[in-house]
């Protein structure tokens, strides 16, 4: 059904010309519509209006894309490139992306709702940096020479080879950055990719697809689809010609992906949910700790898998921390992502708005007290006030489950002498993605870092990311690591070669 669509006047010329153009997916080097001809609407979460229509891929498009990726991996131009040439292509994508920083920041703000000022200094530059970092690894997928005891007249060495065709399924919270995290290492190691974008936020990924064409990637190496979980993601995760699937999203769907992969035992990596603790000791620099704890949860509207969503503060500073974080929360400027003065945008979708507000409601029902927030903001769009809940305990839904919104639960702890007990409290979750510890005592900091079961521990900071640092989860937060040298292991097979001399 055709509806009259108005282009947001705050978009620059490039973003508005992209949004108003005809949208296409990237399959086998061509920018194409879905085989079925179907499209679906993309919504602006700041007001719920339709932005545009994009192609809707289903199993038929998945099959064409996977065969193209298979063909590109098994022969042709891609495996013929040298590592240096592969690296240069990735570097070229980084350059192109950087040249379009403002446009991408605007697309993210429009589609996801996040503040454009944040996307312009975080999402886009981090994606650029990731591509550059991974470009460097293209020439450094090293093996080793291994002395063996079968005899001195043997030469044994290992080589790392690309794992093959990779399916990548990404979420909506950092649409461009998640695409970069996944595409960078896969392409650096020489894999080919079929990526499915999140249905809530396909715009930046479809624009990125054009940059891959412009950079000169051979056909079939990168394929980018827009579509929904069941009809598009599921057949991709199950496809027999796919060698590996990499997924970021909910733990629930992560389990489905692992199951879907069993058909041909494809390799699986998963980056899933979290309920990360931020732990404030009484000796911490309180201004830093309070501002840090606030930003740990309110950054990106709380839609971060590593959000500091369980706040623990020592009883002697608990009231100060609750008041401080609440005060910051109450002062945050809420508005549409495209407003350059906005600090907190809407949640990504009506579904997420309903989820988050129903968590807050259950907090009220189970006896939580409100330090700040607790309500929707504006009657239009999917805005939720920055919210702090206290008087909470394990067993309450708001404490046990991932909310994925700007909602933090604050609990106090008693004795700083018994770190083990505190660590047990911090570890009392099925997740293990991240944690932050706020103290000036280096011994306490390192002891906590040892005892916390999570893939990332921050000390006196939270949400610090770098392309060089591995990121991923213990327990039900996932399998494998993204970024750093670590991620290359996910995209390579190791071959041991032994020669009798």
Among 87, 120, 185, 273, interactor with ligand NAI by CB under 6 A:
273
Q: Nearest approach, Cβ of 312 to ligand NAI (angstroms)? A: 21
Nearer to ligand NAI, 219 or 254 (CB): 254
Q: How far apart are CA 161 and CA 496, in angstroms?
A: 11
Nearer to ligand NAI, 196 or 267 (CB): 196
Nearer to ligand NAI, 87 or 346 (CB): 346
**HSE toward the beta carbon, residue 438, CA cutoff 13 A:** 28
Among 199, 201, 297, 471, interactor with ligand NAI by CB under 6 A:
199
Asked whether position 242 contacts ligand NAI by CB under 6 A, the answer is no
For residue 6, the surrounding DSSP H or E stretch is none
Among 229, 231, 470, 484, interactor with ligand NAI by CB under 6 A:
229
Helix (H, G, I), strand (E, B) or coil at 22: coil
Q: Nearest approach, Cβ of 180 to ligand NAI (angstroms)? A: 14
Q: Nearest approach, Cβ of 276 to ligand NAI (angstroms)? A: 11
| Helices and strands in the chain, H and E counts | 17, 21
Asked whether position 245 contacts ligand NAI by CB under 6 A, the answer is no
Nearer to ligand NAI, 87 or 175 (CB): 175
C-alpha 281 chain-centroid distance: 29
Residue span binding ligand NAI (CB under 6 A) among the ranges 41-49, 106-114, 222-230, 373-381: 222-230
CA 180-404-113 angle, 5° bins: 60
Residues 395-424 that bind ligand NAI (CB under 6 A): 402, 404
Helix (H, G, I), strand (E, B) or coil at 385: coil
Contact 366, 397 (CB under 8 A): yes
Among 15, 163, 187, 198, interactor with ligand NAI by CB under 6 A:
198
Question: Is 271 noted as a catalytic residue in this protein?
Answer: yes
Q: How far apart are CA 214 and CA 227, in angstroms?
A: 23
Among 248, 300, 342, 463, interactor with ligand NAI by CB under 6 A:
248
Q: Which residues pair with 446 in a beta bridge?
A: none
Q: How far apart are CA 40 and CA 482, in angstroms?
A: 30
Q: Nearest approach, Cβ of 127 to ligand NAI (angstroms)? A: 15
Nearer to ligand NAI, 220 or 249 (CB): 249
Helix (H, G, I), strand (E, B) or coil at 323: helix
- CA 227 vs CA 55, 115, 343, 352: distances in Å: 8, 25, 30, 18
Contact 219, 29 (CB under 8 A): yes
Among 175, 184, 190, 249, interactor with ligand NAI by CB under 6 A:
249
Contact 476, 431 (CB under 8 A): yes
Nearer to ligand NAI, 112 or 326 (CB): 112
Question: Is 306 noted as a catalytic residue in this protein?
Answer: no
Among 175, 233, 336, 373, interactor with ligand NAI by CB under 6 A:
233
Q: Nearest approach, Cβ of 423 to ligand NAI (angstroms)? A: 23
Asked whether position 69 contacts ligand NAI by CB under 6 A, the answer is no
Please count the residues of the chain.
501
Q: How far apart are CA 181 and CA 6, in angstroms?
A: 32
Contact 248, 175 (CB under 8 A): no
Asked whether position 483 contacts ligand NAI by CB under 6 A, the answer is no
Asked whether position 228 contacts ligand NAI by CB under 6 A, the answer is yes
Residue span binding ligand NAI (CB under 6 A) among the ranges 50-58, 98-106, 223-231, 329-337: 223-231
Closest CA to 358 of 329, 307, 401: 401
As a three-state string, the secondary structure of 108-142 is HHHHHCCCHHHHHHCHHHHHHHHHHHHHHHCCCCC
From 305, 306, 402, 482, the catalytic residue: 305
Residues 338-397 that bind ligand NAI (CB under 6 A): 352, 355
Tokens of 475: 């327990």
Asked whether position 234 contacts ligand NAI by CB under 6 A, the answer is yes
Tokens of 496: 């041991």
Interface with ligand NAI: number of residues (CB under 6 A)? 27
Name, in order, each residue with C-beta under 8 angstroms of 295's C-beta and a sequence gap of 6 or more: 462, 463
Closest CA to 138 of 75, 88, 183: 88
Residues 285-314 that bind ligand NAI (CB under 6 A): 305
Provide the mask over 439-478, with x wherever binding to ligand NAI is found by CB under 6 A and - wherever it is not. ----------------------------------------
From 103, 199, 271, 402, the catalytic residue: 271
Asked whether position 169 contacts ligand NAI by CB under 6 A, the answer is yes
Closest CA to 391 of 363, 414, 417: 363
Q: Nearest approach, Cβ of 234 to ligand NAI (angstroms)? A: 4
Which residues form the catalytic set?
Answer: 271, 305
The residues that touch ligand NAI, with contacts defined as CB under 6 A, are: 169-171, 173, 196, 198-199, 228-230, 233-234, 237, 248-250, 253, 256-257, 271-273, 305, 352, 355, 402, 404
């Amino acid at each position: 059904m055709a509806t009259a669509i108005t282009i947001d006047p705050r978009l620059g010329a490039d973003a508005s010309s992209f949004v108003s153009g005809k949208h296409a997916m990237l399959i086998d080097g061509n920018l194409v519509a879905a085989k079925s001809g179907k499209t679906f609407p993309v919504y602006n979460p700041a007001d719920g209006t339709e932005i545009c229509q994009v192609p809707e891929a289903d199993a038929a498009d998945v099959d064409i894309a996977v065969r193209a990726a298979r063909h590109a991996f098994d022969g042709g131009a891609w495996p013929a490139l040298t590592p240096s040439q592969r690296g240069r292509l990735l570097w070229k994508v980084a350059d192109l992306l950087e040249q379009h920083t403002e446009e991408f920041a605007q697309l993210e703000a429009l589609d996801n709702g996040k503040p454009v000022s944040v996307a312009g200094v975080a999402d886009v530059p981090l994606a650029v940096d990731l591509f550059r970092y991974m470009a460097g690894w293209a020439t450094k997928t090293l093996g080793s020479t291994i002395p063996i005891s079968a005899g001195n007249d043997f030469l044994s060495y290992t080589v790392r080879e690309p794992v093959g065709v990779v399916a990548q399924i990404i979420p909506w919270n950092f649409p461009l950055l998640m695409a970069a995290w996944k595409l960078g290492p896969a392409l650096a190691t020489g894999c080919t990719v079929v990526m499915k974008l999140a249905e809530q936020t396909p715009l930046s990924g479809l624009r990125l697809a054009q940059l891959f064409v412009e950079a000169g990637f051979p056909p079939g190496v990168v394929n980018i689809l827009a579509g929904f979980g069941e009809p598009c993601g599921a057949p991709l995760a199950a496809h027999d010609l796919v060698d590996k699937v990499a997924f970021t999203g909910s733990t629930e769907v992560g389990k489905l992906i692992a199951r879907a992969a069993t058909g041909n035992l494809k390799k699986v990596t998963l980056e899933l949910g979290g309920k990360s603790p931020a732990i404030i000791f009484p000796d911490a620099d309180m201004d830093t700790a309070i501002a840090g704890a606030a930003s740990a949860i309110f950054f990106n509207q709380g839609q971060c898998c590593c959000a500091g969503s369980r706040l623990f503060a020592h009883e002697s500073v608990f009231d100060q921390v609750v008041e401080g974080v609440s005060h910051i929360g109450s002062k945050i400027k809420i508005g549409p992502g495209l407003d350059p003065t906005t600090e907190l945008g809407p949640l990504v979708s009506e579904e997420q708005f309903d989820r988050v507000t129903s968590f807050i409601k259950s907090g009220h029902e189970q006896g939580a007290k409100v330090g700040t927030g607790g309500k929707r903001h504006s009657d239009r769009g999917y805005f939720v006030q920055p919210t702090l809940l206290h008087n909470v305990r394990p067993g309450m839904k708001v404490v046990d489950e991932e909310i994925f919104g700007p909602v933090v639960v604050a609990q106090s702890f008693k004795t700083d002498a018994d770190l083990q007990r505190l660590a047990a409290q911090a570890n009392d979750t099925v997740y293990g993605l991240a944690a932050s510890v706020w103290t000036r005592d280096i011994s306490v900091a390192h002891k906590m870092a040892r005892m916390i079961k999570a893939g990332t521990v921050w000390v006196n900071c939270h949400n610090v990311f770098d392309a060089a640092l591995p990121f991923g989860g213990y327990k039900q937060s996932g399998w494998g690591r993204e970024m750093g040298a670590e991620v290359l292991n996910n995209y390579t097979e190791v071959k041991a070669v032994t020669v009798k001399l």
